[in-house]
Amino acid sequence: MITAALRQLVETANAHAQQCNDGKDHTVAAALLTRSGQTVLGVNAFHFLGGPCGEISALANHAATCADDPIDAIVAVYGPTGQVISPCGKCRQVLFDIDPAIQCVVRGSNGLEALTVSELLPHAYDWRAMERPQQVFMWEGYESAIRDGSKRQTIRVDDPFRPGSAQLVFEKESGETITLDANITSVLATRRCDLTEEHAQRDGFASLADLHEALDMHYPGLEMEDSIDIVAFELSNPAGCSPSPQD
């Protein structure tokens, strides 16, 4: 079920698709809804060398007419049948690059629904992520040891990091997410069998046996000869750091 505003957007896109449909080169129309309530239309232009989709055409018209009015939603309609169609992979990436929160009207199993571009394109390439600190997800049981400085490293398997700024992220069972600003000071590639008592202590454990028990909990099936990364870190503000809820 979609909102009244999105229903109107679908109707407008459908009317534009019927008007522009020539059964050959112009068969898909798109309509996007801006934050202020404006509707911007577009139509595809097929060519054997490649041509813009209806969504791309609508985005170009948006850029030309009201670029400062953010896009809230978009829908594409196939002219010959009047069917709402999902954006192709290229259009999903373009929309994601503009704003991952843009809503796309698509046909689901129970009718029309609105999904964000992020939902339509999981694990998308995100250029914004290149400018953000690395996120190191931690089990909430380690938070106190990290805060008091007794845990100064984490052991990772198939989870690569690099020295530099980072955020330690605790996703709690309560639903709360806490982040601590940190800096990754070093990353050492080694094998599980080469871990020592010193590594265990830096990881906040009383003994190497305790560390191996934790590794078995986090990485079931991890063999002694398997490769691991020892990721050392330090908090950016270790004295009196306070929880920072993450959006």
**What does pLDDT average to in each consecutive run of 10 residues of the chain (247 residues)?**
96 97 96 98 92 96 98 97 96 97 96 97 89 94 96 97 96 94 98 98 97 97 97 85 50
Which residues, in sequence order, are bridge partners of residue 167?
Answer: 135, 181
CATH no. for 4-120: 3.40.140.10
Single out the catalytic residue among 11, 55, 176, 225: 55
This prediction has a pTM of 0.77
Residue 246 has a pLDDT of 52
Residue 240 confidence (pLDDT)? 47
- The Cα–Cα gap between 62 and 102 comes to 14
Q: Catalytic annotation on 55?
A: yes
Structure tokens at 245: 């809820």
Tokens for 38, please give them. Answer: 């404006």
Q: What does the pLDDT read at residue 245?
A: 52
Q: Which residues, 6+ apart, have CB-to-CB distance to 195 below 8 Å?
A: 155, 208, 211, 212, 228
Place of tokens 């309530």: 37
- What is the per-residue pLDDT across 50-105, written as a single tens digit (0 to 9) for each? 889 999 999 999 999 999 999 999 999 999 999 999 999 999 999 999 999 999 99
Structure tokens at 218: 């986090």
Model pLDDT, residue 237: 85
For 212-232, give the secondary structure using H, E and C: HHHHHHHCCCCCCCCEEEEEE
- Provide the residue ranges of all domains of the chain, joining segments of one domain with +: 4-120, 132-245
The residues with which 76 forms a beta bridge, in sequence order, are 30, 85
What's 132-245's CATH class?
alpha beta
